[in-house]
Amino acid sequence: MSTKPSSQPPILSLEQIAAAHERIAPRIHRTPVLQSATIDALCGAKIFFKCENLQKTGSFKIRGATNAIFSLSEREASHGIVTHSSGNHGAAVACAAGWRGVPAWIVMPKNAPIIKCQAVEAYGGKITFCEPKVSARNEAGARIQAETGAVMIHPYDDDRVIVGQATAAKELLEEVGELDTMLAPVSGGGLLSGTTLSARYMQPKAKIFGCEPAKADDAFRSLQSGTLQAMESSDTIADGLRASLAARTFAILQKHLSGIFLVTEEEIITAMKLIWERMKVITEPSSAIALAPLMKPETIDAISAGLAGGRKPRIGIILSGGNVDLHELPFR
């Protein structure tokens, strides 16, 4: 199944990203940028990890959710927020709605990880479970909207969310200076779109790549084919990367992305274990995926081509989240 994007989205400006950053900065963590000499030596690069896994609610999703919810007028916000999410965006919306003092309804697929459901509830979100299908999800969301008057905050098909997610790359670029390349995971494309936009304005020479499970390769196929490819479902271990691009994020990525690396399940787990063992930070599979391509010499060779004096490439990675069930680790 494929569809043409319905319309070109408006270009989001640096001013919009900066305004989002100002709006959310007092409420979120300025997450640390970590480095590992061991991983640098292993990969033959200088890698800067922007640790959004250490962010409030355990992922970057709080950036977009907070920006969207605090962009609403009093009247708009007064009936609460509704969204659908398999996990991290749901927790982020529940948390940010709580800060705003309004209720949050979260539609989640029945197969969402238990710890992600528990997180939504811990932040005060009201969960409605649905079948793990796009149609069921949309129906449940529409019904709640009709019943409550709540505002829908889509996980990624929303400009306020995209500029919010863009602030992670903005902070990274402000902190570490010039980068040759940045990598981020891609699912619905909110984080990756935001990352390409911040790079475009702040360091236009930097090449931005997405990292996607080979088992959920719809974004790769969309960009290859030039038409938006949907994906019915995937059982990739990267449970946060099972969504598909929206027209809005597809258009931004078509314009600004350098490419997508497909990653196997085994490569995701290997990268995850390396990050846990060497960097001592907890990353979920959907997040660790962004290191995996750099563990292959051919990726580094490609990134390094054309660098002056054979210097090692400077690479930024957005470690997107750390919400993982400690009782269900893939390495034993």
Q: What is the rounded distance in angstroms from the CA atom of residue 303 to the CA atom of residue 310?
A: 11
Closest CA to 100 of 119, 82, 74, 118: 74
Collapse the DSSP code of 54 into the 3-class scheme (helix H, G, I; strand E, B; otherwise coil) and give the result. Answer: helix
Instruction: Report, in Å, the least distance between residue 280 CB and a second copy.
Output: 4
The residues in 18-37 that bind a second copy, with binding defined as CB under 8 A, are 29, 32, 34-35, 37
Q: Could you write out the DSSP letters of every residue in 147-181?
A: HH-PEE--SSSSHHHHHHHHHHHHHHHHHH---SE
Q: What is the rounded distance in angstroms from the CA atom of residue 50 to the CA atom of residue 154?
A: 24
Instruction: Report, in Å, the least distance between residue 285 CB and a second copy.
Output: 14
Q: Which is nearer to a second copy, 84 or 100 (CB)?
A: 100
Q: Which is nearer to a second copy, 41 or 146 (CB)?
A: 41
The residues in 266-325 that bind a second copy, with binding defined as CB under 8 A, are 273, 276-277, 279-283, 322
- What is the size of the binding site for a second copy (CB under 8 A)? 25
Q: Which is nearer to a second copy, 212 or 284 (CB)?
A: 284
Residue 315 bridge partners (DSSP): 47, 181
Q: Which is nearer to a second copy, 28 or 245 (CB)?
A: 28
Instruction: Report, in Å, the least distance between residue 330 CB and a second copy.
Output: 10
Q: Which is nearer to a second copy, 199 or 237 (CB)?
A: 237
**Count of Cβ atoms closer than 10 Å to residue 80 Cβ:** 19
Instruction: Report, in Å, the least distance between residue 45 CB and a second copy.
Output: 18
Q: Which is nearer to a second copy, 14 or 115 (CB)?
A: 115
The Cα-based distances of 83 to 69, 156, 212, 232 in angstroms read 12, 11, 24, 19
The contact mask relative to a second copy for 100-139 (x = CB under 8 A, - = no) is ----------------------x-----------------
End-to-end CA distance of the chain: 39
Residue 46 bridge partners (DSSP): 314
Burial of residue 316, with CB atoms counted within 10 A of its CB: 0-12 exposed, 13-18 middle, 19 or more buried: buried
Interaction between residue 54 and a second copy (CB under 8 A): yes
Q: Which is nearer to a second copy, 252 or 272 (CB)?
A: 272
Q: What is the rounded distance in angstroms from the CA atom of residue 172 to the CA atom of residue 175?
A: 5
The Cα-based distances of 29 to 168, 177, 216 in angstroms read 11, 20, 30
Instruction: Report, in Å, the least distance between residue 31 CB and a second copy.
Output: 8
Both tokens assigned to 213 = 């499970």
Instruction: Report, in Å, the least distance between residue 106 CB and a second copy.
Output: 19
Q: Which is nearer to a second copy, 101 or 306 (CB)?
A: 101
Instruction: Report, in Å, the least distance between residue 51 CB and a second copy.
Output: 8
The H or E element containing residue 220 is helix 218-225
Residue from 50, 56, 160, 215 touching a second copy (CB under 8 A): that is 56
Instruction: Report, in Å, the least distance between residue 205 CB and a second copy.
Output: 28
- Considering only 51-59, 124-132, 137-145, 149-157, which stretch makes contact with a second copy by CB under 8 A? 51-59
Note the residues at the interface with a second copy (CB under 8 A): 29, 32, 34-35, 37-38, 53-54, 56, 58, 122, 273, 276-277, 279-283, 322, 326-327, 329, 331-332
